[in-house]
Structure 1
Amino acid sequence: MTTEHEGPGNLVILANFVSPLAVDLTEETVLRQWAEQAPRKLWLTRPGDVLITPTPLSQSFQRYVFHRLGIPEESVDIITVPDTPNLPMATALTEHNLLDPLRTLVNSRPTARLLPTALDEAAAALASDLRIPVVPYETGVPRPGTLRAADAMNTKSGFRAVAQTLGLRLPQGRTCTGAELQQVTSALLACHQQVVLKTDRSAGGHGLHFVSRGDSPPQLPPPSPDSRWVVEEYVEHTRAVSAQGHVSATRVEVAYDGEMRMSGGSFAGYCSPLQDLPEKTREELTQWTLALGSHLAAEGYRGPYSLDAVSTHDGTLHALECNVRRTATTTAHAMVTRLTGGRRAAWSTGTATALVPKSFDEAVNHLADAGLDFQPGDSEGVLFYADRPPDCRIWRYAALAPTHNRLTELEVRLAAALGHGEI
């Protein structure tokens, strides 16, 4: 698989969690929550790279990451972009007079390349302004038609339209406007016990509303008449799964797959690789992911994407959405692959709750005391792959082990180490 650092030069890693690709920029609260995860991008760095982040990184976290990566402290330049409502992060650089300092750093790295989290128009414009290519585009910067295609595929309606042409099995549903939402919801509830209302541009479970037959009307803010929605039947399922694909100039491949851990319809963690799924179901997920990648390749897209689906009790697969960007799992997978030297490993992400607030160093010490703290050369352990959380209690972690059974043991021990009984 193509890696982030394949090819010459340093990376300018743009942690643009504030992007219109996933949700509308007016959704300030959820964008701010997502931006808190930006420190995890430090795991992608190598000496000489530049990280652009919307969230400051603590010195403790930087020391922690650099030690485990085996690179010198202060070998990565970090630019922090202040919170800027309603502006894509790439545009906010200019708003805060940070473009010229960034240009100076780039000019001292003649083969630098931009690695954005989300390939939006602002990120492409930034690359053009800096005169550097976007990873992994062999021609430098994706053409406007490719950007439009990626933008459309990150909507629920855009995905459904393409999925239908590719023959993917979808929940029964309809695309509609805000003015039509109540009528369409009622029509689908006449056929299905429960439906899901999805704002057209949403991610991570944000913007989903579950409505059952006989419920009172859902308590939603009145949608604007011209807003876009998708209403689908709720598919009773036993597993929520995803596969991560990658498109290069020469091939489309599935990099990894796994099970999504969900909480109230929202993404809460991941476990890879998939296990205990019927082989036929897993193969279908693979084939669907490759078909989607071939479509993206024809549009000129290069890079990562994911396909999310659910599996019913008999193994029937239903595709739900795709994410044409770096996702919540790509950095964790890259981190695990790098720390294990590419050895096969089971890995997971999630959150663990501490009984009392802890500083970053205190939390790491608890891992060390419990024999869980991953160190260079280890084959298993736990890592805090983001910085200290705002409440100092709900810690984002990644765990890795040779087997799934051993992985489960580590996660149970992690909960105990932080003084809380559950993950």
Structure 2
Amino acid sequence: MSEHSWRAGDRSHTAAEHGERAPLVILANFVSPLAVDLSERSVLRGWSEQAARKLWLTRPGDVLITPAPLSDAFRRYAFERLGIPDGSVTVVTVPDAPLLPTAQALAAHGLLEPLRALVRERPGACLLPTALDAASVALAGELGVPVVPYETSPPPPATVKAVARLNTKSGFRAVAHELGIRLPYGRVCTGAELFRVTDEVLSVHERVVVKPDRSAGGHGLYFVTRDDRTSQPMPSVDTHWVVEQYVGHTTAVSAQGYVTAGGADVLYDGEMRMSGGSFVGYRSPLDDLSDLTRAELADWTRVLGRHLGAEGYRGPYSLDAVRAQDGTLHALECNVRRTATTTAHALVTRLVHGGRPVWSTGVAGASLPSFDSVLARLTGSCLDFRPADGEGVLLYTDRPVNGSGWRYVAIAADHSRLASLEGRLAATLKPAVL
């Protein structure tokens, strides 16, 4: 595959997203109906704890709106590595509000007027939402600022509706069929039909995946086999589901695309690290797919991006797929929003100058009392990333609520060194055995 087809290391779209042309109001709207129903409060609260990673996108003068507070230790750490003064970024914490997306929770907590004042102090400011939902577009209108990367006019309602539709399993399947993207066999149904449809698909395939129509990160999906039909509670009759053939696979992969007025391109690809159907990490770029298979993933990603462009969408999106045991690629879903890897990619691009580093994200288990205690472990083992080194481990988010799942980004010169780095990290943070 040619370098041109992948634009490896290209900074053009990253610069457009996180450049220095104007201050950004970075809206970490992890509480959004694009990903999951807003009634799933515990799930949304858990995702919101990851919003601290958006601090890595900031530059002096920016405003970060986050649903979870940031510790002083994490702020100092991130700003030191980014080389920007502590206090040069304004952080606004928006507690969740029942059944309201983050963009609407601002008004519910009396924070809209203070935010307007911050915007007035920043001529030319733009809103950068994690998810392009209706609430974030409405917020941009109330603030009188454009939505990145829309420069002259906001995304029209029809585009926002198309984005919402493509963030469902059924919406993606319908578009993928039209575009000629290979999919596993599957059926769309309501909660009232779910058990019957599951039995019908199991009559053809020995194992199936049952997925809520609107879900992210593997939340709510479960597996059923002919010989082990695990009892599941009866879902609400008006919910929507996809029952899909389980594809026995060797690798779960993803490609990240970006849509501009001029077309769609692929920024990077990688292997998704999965546990029980849930996303737990990423490793980029791909190094164990054949050139033909990797090219097919890139082609599908561009085709999908052109479709999104025709719907009026501009910005990032991803396409997830699996490589079956016979080598065949099957697409599973798309995510039309800033995903769990976009900030990591922007961070690596920003900190590593020159070369084409490989990188990964993951979760390291360590029951340590504070952010600084984990950092001391990394520093003592010479694992802590420093920009001058171009290699090492960064603590990607703040202290985890459960005190043990520390999210990180690892950066190295090649895949072998990356594997060694992650091995050393696991050994360094491994709990002591008494």
TM-score, normalization: structure 2?
0.95
Q: CA deviation at 1:372?
A: 0.4
Q: CA deviation at 1:357?
A: 2.2
Corresponding residue for 1:263? 275
Q: Which runs of 4+ in 1 moved over 3 A?
A: none
Q: Which residues in structure 2 correspond to 1:288-307 (within 5 Å)? A: 288-307=300-319
Alignment counterpart, residue 422 of structure 2, candidates 407, 411, 420: 411
CA deviations over 1:269-289 (Å, ceiling 9, x no partner): 000000111111101000000
Q: CA deviation at 1:315?
A: 1.6
Q: Which residues in structure 2 correspond to 1:142-157 (within 5 Å)? A: 142-157=155-170
Corresponding residue for 1:251? 263
Corresponding residue for 2:57? 44
Alignment counterpart, residue 165 of structure 1, candidates 178, 183, 199: 178
CA deviations over 1:236-263 (Å, ceiling 9, x no partner): 0000000000001213100000000000
CA distance in 1, matches of 2:270, 2:210: 25
Alignment counterpart, residue 394 of structure 1, candidates 405, 410, 427: 405
Q: Measured at CA, do residues 275 and 125 of structure 1 come closer, stay the same or move farther in structure 2, by a change above 3 Å? A: same
Q: Which residues in structure 2 correspond to 1:48-63 (within 5 Å)? A: 48-63=61-76
Instruction: Determine if the alignment matches structure 1 residue 131 to structure 2 residue 144.
Output: yes
Structure 1: runs of 5 or more not aligned: none
Alignment counterpart, residue 108 of structure 2, candidates 68, 92, 95: 95
Q: Which residues in structure 2 correspond to 1:6-405 (within 5 Å)? A: 6=19, 8-220=21-233, 222-341=234-353, 343-354=355-366, 356-405=367-416
CA distance in 1, matches of 2:292, 2:245: 24
Structure 2: runs of 5 or more not aligned: 1-11
Structure 1, 136-145 or 182-191: larger mean CA deviation: 136-145
Contact 1:337 1:343 in 2 (8 A): no
Q: CA deviation at 1:85?
A: 2.2
Q: CA deviation at 1:223?
A: 1.4
Contact 1:169 1:317 in 2 (8 A): yes
One-letter amino acid of the structure 2 residue matched with residue 200 of structure 1: D
Corresponding residue for 2:6? none
> Alignment partner of 2:18: what SS?
coil
Q: CA deviation at 1:391?
A: 2.4
CA distance in 2, matches of 1:140, 1:357: 48
Q: CA deviation at 1:342?
A: 5.4
CA deviations over 1:23-53 (Å, ceiling 9, x no partner): 0001111111100000000000000000000
One-letter amino acid of the structure 2 residue matched with residue 225 of structure 1: V
One-letter amino acid of the structure 2 residue matched with residue 322 of structure 1: C
CA distance in 2, matches of 1:54, 1:208: 26
CA distance in 2, matches of 1:279, 1:2: 24
Count of residues in Structure 1 that have an aligned counterpart in Structure 2? 419
CA distance in 1, matches of 2:196, 2:232: 16
CA distance in 2, matches of 1:343, 1:303: 25
CA deviations over 1:307-363 (Å, ceiling 9, x no partner): 000001222000000000000000001001100025310000000011x32311111
Q: CA deviation at 1:5?
A: 2.7
CA distance in 2, matches of 1:393, 1:358: 9
Name the % identity.
Answer: 64
CA RMSD of aligned residues (A): 1.1
Q: CA deviation at 1:217?
A: 4.8
Contact 1:256 1:272 in 2 (8 A): yes
One-letter amino acid of the structure 1 residue matched with residue 70 of structure 2: L
CA distance in 2, matches of 1:250, 1:63: 39
CA distance in 2, matches of 1:170, 1:419: 40
Contact 2:20 2:59 in 1 (8 A): no
One-letter amino acid of the structure 1 residue matched with residue 293 of structure 2: T
Contact 1:357 1:391 in 2 (8 A): no
Corresponding residue for 2:9? none
Q: Measured at CA, do residues 181 and 342 of structure 1 come closer, stay the same or move farther in structure 2, by a change above 3 Å? A: farther
> Alignment partner of 2:317: what SS?
strand
TM-score, normalization: structure 1?
0.97
> Alignment partner of 2:34: what SS?
coil
Structure 1, 231-240 or 386-395: larger mean CA deviation: 386-395
CA deviations over 1:188-226 (Å, ceiling 9, x no partner): 000000011111001100021110003235323x21212
Contact 1:386 1:396 in 2 (8 A): yes
CA deviations over 1:121-147 (Å, ceiling 9, x no partner): 000000000010000013331000100
One-letter amino acid of the structure 1 residue matched with residue 363 of structure 2: T
One-letter amino acid of the structure 2 residue matched with residue 28 of structure 1: R
> Alignment partner of 2:344: what SS?
helix
Contact 2:266 2:302 in 1 (8 A): yes
> Alignment partner of 1:232: what SS?
strand
